[in-house]
A and B are shown apart, each in its own frame.
Chain A
């Protein structure tokens, strides 16, 4: 029997990581020495800053290299290296350093005064949302009530930085729900903007539960099925009467 899964939200306490860069060598030096939380902040957590973006902006290192150093080719390579949200942070660090090692042989552009890159780190302050899944299918029902920060925390942050017990996909696997865990893991690894990720996971989960629901339904007595059908129609009618508004767009 797997323990229940409590959902949490997080706020991130950002603080200076103690390094700054004005050119590619100093950027390399910073990337080599900052803690993994700083890499996570500058690369992976970009998606939490832009949850509703149509497509995700490149990570902070790539963005700064393009705008402050005017190095589009290196920026493109740094952006690509950071486009795997579930990659272990030491692998990410190695990829970024490899690109900068190759690049520093060719050029030595310096950022204009006032445009230095300052490394930031962050730690999470976790808060209980009061939503608990006792079994995997409940995750599907609770999911629409989970905010973006919570989704990011349970799908990405807990996987990459820990703690392991808050990793939602790992919990689903332990509970024997591979059909729910697989699409979540696959979509999260694709690096979608958070709002789309949140929606697409919900849609895939709903679809994945259809066969099981049909089976259950087939075994139920006619009266129960009719009652369920009436409830569905009533919900649909209610929705038509009171259209649910997304916050703006």
Chain B
């Protein structure tokens, strides 16, 4: 039986999820004793997957499941191809050329030789390293493909390139049922999760929060309504401003639109310019471009918010909602993508279908501290049970053990 290490991550998690949940996790992990797991992705830092792996690998090892993390390397040409692939699988991108295909195949072959894929369980994250399966070393190994992206609007050309590789896996995992393409291998659903101890989600005192607001040049006095999302049309930032104008005509409040994604994305820059232009014509609206790695700033901004909005037109899983709920914030969101799994209307937050609906729900929350408190408390409890890393580890163990 594995023991919880004093001062380890499991011990810290136990304080949040309780000893019963931890005991259950240990019992499930015993099913993988005697096996060795290798996780593979393409970056050690930056991005949601690396963030998850940093913590999950440690938790699995503390549970007695020997787990290593291999990072597939590539040059600029390879990552140019995988970036193209990533965009196309999200529904917007160029066709793959025969040169692109050759670059992908060649790098995959070289990396398959270099990487230490010596466990009997191999968990490959996302499309970039998916081709490694074609060089699998032993039939006894079990390979699982964990897709973190939404494939519902996938480009058929790119998917047809990837599909023969995916078909060789023993199983696949997707974050939500809406993201799953037709596949002939077992497919499981494991929602993503947040780390309550990361810079983005850790507890933060009021003094620290206010100091960050000061540093960002934001007035301390609210109430703040915020949407923290990259500047992208599908996040509907202009709709958020419109809804806020309706709110502002009835209540005193400030709107903050904060996010990244504008500096390296021409369309993002265009959206940001439009948002700035519209914001300039509106009272009490602030637009803030956040550089990558602004985790602690996001933490402070979410905590400073009286209402957090996520008025997207389309979404992936939208873990920003769980982040806000974890901080006991009152959330107004659209019922798209993974949001309805996180927001149960009138229980863990409020759903809206229109600009007027978003305005109405925001006014309700601004006016009613009890409602904000109740939704925030229930929202945090919902995240604790369903969207922390311990739950994702439990589900991943279940998938892997089902293949043995």
Q: Do A and B come from one complex?
A: yes
A contacts, CB < 8 Å to B: 8-9, 11-16, 49-54, 57, 63, 67-68, 112, 114-115, 118, 120, 125, 127-130, 145-150, 245-249
A119 to chain B minimum Cβ distance, whole angstroms, is 9
The answer to whether B378 touches A15 (Cβ under 8 A) is: no
Q: Which of B177, B378, B386 contacts A54 (CB 8 A)?
A: B378
A127:B335 contact, CB within 8 angstroms: no
Interface residues of B in 213-243 (CB under 8 A from A): none
Min distance, Cβ B357 to any Cβ of chain A, angstroms: 12
**Chain B residue total in the interface (Cβ 8 A):** 48
What residues on B are CB-neighbors of A15 within 8 Å? 186-189
Residues of B within 8 A of A (CB): 1, 14-21, 23-24, 27-28, 30-31, 177-178, 180, 186-190, 314, 335-337, 340, 344-345, 347, 351, 353, 377-378, 380-382, 384-386, 394-395, 397-399, 401-402
Q: List 28 A-B contacts (CB under 8 A).
A: A8-B27, A9-B23, A11-B394, A12-B398, A13-B188, A13-B398, A14-B190, A15-B186, A15-B189, A52-B381, A63-B344, A114-B314, A114-B336, A115-B336, A118-B177, A125-B398, A127-B31, A129-B23, A129-B27, A130-B27, A145-B20, A149-B24, A150-B20, A245-B15, A246-B18, A247-B21, A247-B384, A248-B380
A68 to B385 CA separation, bound complex (whole angstroms): 25
Residues of B within 8 A of A247 (CB): 14-18, 21, 384
Q: Check B385 against A52 for contact (C-beta < 8 Å).
A: yes
User: CB distance B351 to A67 under 8 Å?
Assistant: yes
Indicate which residue in A51, A67, A148 contacts B335 across the interface (CB closer than 8 Å).
Answer: A67
Interchain CB contact (< 8 A) of A11 among B18, B177, B398 = B398
Report how far A177 CA is from B101 CA in the complex, Å.
Answer: 68
Given the known inter-chain contacts A11-B394, A112-B353, A247-B18, please indicate yes or no for A68 contacting B24, CB distance below 8 A.
no
- The binding surface of chain A is classed by DSSP as mixed
Task: For the complex formed, measure the closest distance between the CB of B232 and the CB atoms of chain A, giving whole angstroms.
Answer: 16
Residue of B nearest to A8 (CB): B27
Cα of A44 to Cα of B1 in the assembled complex, Å: 32
Task: Report how far A95 CA is from B352 CA in the complex, Å.
Answer: 31
Contacts of B189 in A (CB 8 A): 14-16, 120
How far, in whole Å, are A148 and B401 apart by their CA atoms in the complex? 21
- Closest chain A residue to B20, Cβ basis: A147
Q: Is the CB–CB distance between A128 and B20 below 8 Å?
A: no
Q: Whole-angstrom distance from the CB of A30 to the nearest CB of chain B?
A: 13
Instruction: Considering the complex, give the chain B residue whose CB is closest to the CB of A68.
Output: B335
Q: A67-B340, A67-B345, A127-B27 are in contact. Are A249 and B377 (CB under 8 A)?
A: yes
Q: Which residue of the partner chain, among B1, B340, B402, contacts A13 with CB atoms under 8 Å?
A: B402
CB-CB under 8 A for A11 and B188, given A51-B385, A115-B336, A247-B18 = no
Asked, given contacts A16-B180, A146-B20, whether A9 binds B336 with beta carbons under 8 Å apart, the answer is: no
A-side contacts of B190, CB under 8 Å: 14
Centre residue among A53, A68, A128, A145 by max chain B CB count within 10 A: A53
B residues within 8 A CB of A52?
381, 384-385
Decide: B21 and A147 in contact? CB cutoff 8 A.
Answer: yes
Bound together, the chains give a CA A115 to CA B384 distance in angstroms of 25
Given A115-B336, A130-B1, A248-B16; 8 other pairs, CB 8 A cutoff? A9-B28, A52-B385, A57-B344, A57-B347, A114-B178, A127-B27, A149-B24, A150-B20
B interface: dominant SS: helix
Q: How far is the CA of A76 from the CA of B344 in the complex (A)?
A: 16
| Chain B residue with Cβ nearest A146 | B20
Give Cα distance in the complex from A193 to B19, angstroms.
19
A127 touches B28 (CB 8 A): yes
Q: Establish whether residues A53 and B28, one from each chain, have CB atoms under 8 Å apart when the complex forms.
A: no
Instruction: Tell whether, in the assembled complex, residue B28 and residue A49 are in contact, meaning their CB atoms are under 8 Å apart.
Output: no
Q: List residues of chain B with CB within 8 A of the CB of A13.
A: 188, 395, 398-399, 402
Contact status A248-B24, CB under 8 Å: no
Minimum distance in angstroms from B40 CB to a CB of chain A? 22
**Across the interface, do B180 and A50 meet the contact criterion of CB distance under 8 Å?**
no
Q: Give complex CA distance A147, B19 in Å.
A: 8
Residue numbers in B under 8 Å from A16 (CB-CB): 177, 180, 187, 189
List B contacts of A51 (CB < 8 A): 385
Q: In the complex, which residues of chain B have a beta carbon less than 8 angstroms from the beta carbon of A53?
A: 347, 378, 381-382
Chain A residues whose C-beta falls within 8 Å of the C-beta of B380 in the assembled complex? 248
Expressed in whole angstroms, the Cα–Cα distance for A218 and B353 within the complex equals 67
Residues of A within 8 A of B15 (CB): 245, 247
Complex CA–CA separation, A11 to B188 (angstroms):
12
Contacts of B397 in A (CB 8 A): 11
Say how far A48's CB is from chain B's closest CB, in angstroms.
9
Which single residue of chain B is at the shortest CB-CB distance from A116? B178
Measured CB to CB, the nearest residue on chain A to B341 is A49
What CA separation (Å) do A51 and B386 show in the bound complex? 10
Contacts of A130 in B (CB 8 A): 1, 27
Q: Which residues of B contact A127 (CB under 8 A)?
A: 24, 27-28, 30-31
- A145: which B residues are within 8 A, CB to CB? 19-20, 23
A110: min CB distance to chain B, Å: 14
Complex: A80 Cα to B328 Cα, angstroms = 30
Given contacts A15-B188, A67-B351, A114-B314, contact A147 B24 (CB under 8 A): yes
Q: How far is the CA of A54 from the CA of B373 in the complex (A)?
A: 14
* B20 contacts A148, C-beta separation under 8 Å: yes
